[in-house]
Amino acid sequence: MFTGLIEQIGTIDHLEGRDDGLSIRIACALHPYELGESIAVNGTCLTVKSFSEGHFDADASSETLDKTNLGDLTEGDRVHLERALALGDRLGGHLVSGHVDGVGTLVSRAPEGDYVRASFEVPAPLAPFLAPKGSITVNGVSLTVNTVTGTRFDVMLVPYTLAETTFGEMANGARINLEVDILAKYVASLLGKPGVDAPAG
């Protein structure tokens, strides 16, 4: 589990395509690592397969590439990183599984004073899980939904978030990983409502 609070921004150092997916090397300073530990990369839970002090390596399966934006990555891209939550840690964001429910799109962004209002389009199956003042994870970042209109929702990005994530440089049309609130998914399941497709991660 994760919290949606980004620890660090890493840089894609090397990508190696494989028949069954992609091997990814990410330069960062999250060390010390442990083999097999989970790190969320743009909100997608990946497993550390090897590392040095300055980087770690992980694999993304073809399924993960199909259902996330990791297949869009190129060398030099910056990505959000978060290590798994330890029991006893403060939960500053919300409970995040690192299993991406779908890929959405940044539709628009507009400054409002020191803030930026960002509007995102989501796949139709995810729209029922959006609620004003509810939580959503965008590229691994825990955000509060301001308004919902059909398959679109708005958030207000505060100066700290703009400075400490890649949102400040994100252009309209960018594809983003989405994970809806896990509590909303459980409620939908208990009520017998249709759920989201099998997530990736």
The overall average pLDDT reported for the chain is 92
**% of the chain with per-residue pLDDT over 70:** 96
Token reading at 163: 């400075």
| Residue type at position 170 | M
Output the CA torsion 34→52→8→148 (10° steps). -70
pLDDT tens digits for range 18-40: 889 999 999 999 988 999 999 99
- Are domains 8-83 and 102-190 of this chain identical in fold? yes
Question: What is residue 198's predicted lDDT score, i.e. its pLDDT?
Answer: 46
Domain layout of the chain by residue ranges:
8-83, 102-190
Token reading at 139: 């590229």
pTM of the complete model beyond 0.85: yes
**Which segment of 33-42, 92-101, 146-155, 189-198 scores lowest on mean pLDDT?**
189-198
**Mean pLDDT over residues 142-168, rounded?**
96
Model confidence at 112: pLDDT above 60: yes
Assigned CATH for 8-83? 2.40.30.20
102-190 fold: Elongation Factor Tu (Ef-tu); domain 3 (2.40.30)
